[in-house]
Homo-oligomer: A and B are copies of this chain.
Amino acid sequence: MTELAGPVEIVGTGLLGTSIGLACRAHGIEVLLSDLSAEHVRTASGLGAGRAKTAQDRPRLVIVAVPPDHLADAVVAALSDTDAFVTDVGSIKSRPLEQIAERVEPALLARYVGSHPMAGSERSGPLAASTALFDGRPWAITPHATSLPEAVGAVSALVNLCGAVPTTLNPAEHDRAVARTSHLPHLAAVLVAGRLTGAPVEHLALSGQGVRDVTRIAASDPQMWQQILNANAAAVTDLLGELRERLDTLIDAVRFDQRDVLSEILRAGVAGTESIPGKHGDPGRPMRSVFVSVPDHPGELARLFGDAGDIGINIEDVRIDHDPGRPVGLTELVVDETRADDLLNSLESRGWTTHR
Contacts and interface: CB of A to CB of B under 8 A. Distances in A.
- Number of this chain's copies in the assembly equals 2
A309 interface: no
B185 A214 contact: yes
Contacts of A121: 209-210
Interface stretch (A38-46, A54-62, A71-79, A154-162): A38-46
A204 B271 CA distance: 13
A187 B226 contact: no
Interface string A233-273: 10011011111101110110011010100110111111111
Q: How large, as a class, is the contact surface on chain A?
A: 35 or more
Interface of A: 38-39, 42-43, 45-48, 50-51, 116, 118-122, 127, 137-138, 140, 165, 167, 169, 173-174, 176-178, 180-182, 184-200, 202-220, 222-223, 225-226, 229-230, 233, 236-237, 239-244, 246-248, 250-251, 254-255, 257, 259, 262-263, 265-277, 281, 294, 296-302, 305, 318, 320, 322, 324, 329
Contacts of A165: 205
Contacts of A247: 191, 240, 243-244, 247
Contact of A207 (B138, B206, B259): B138
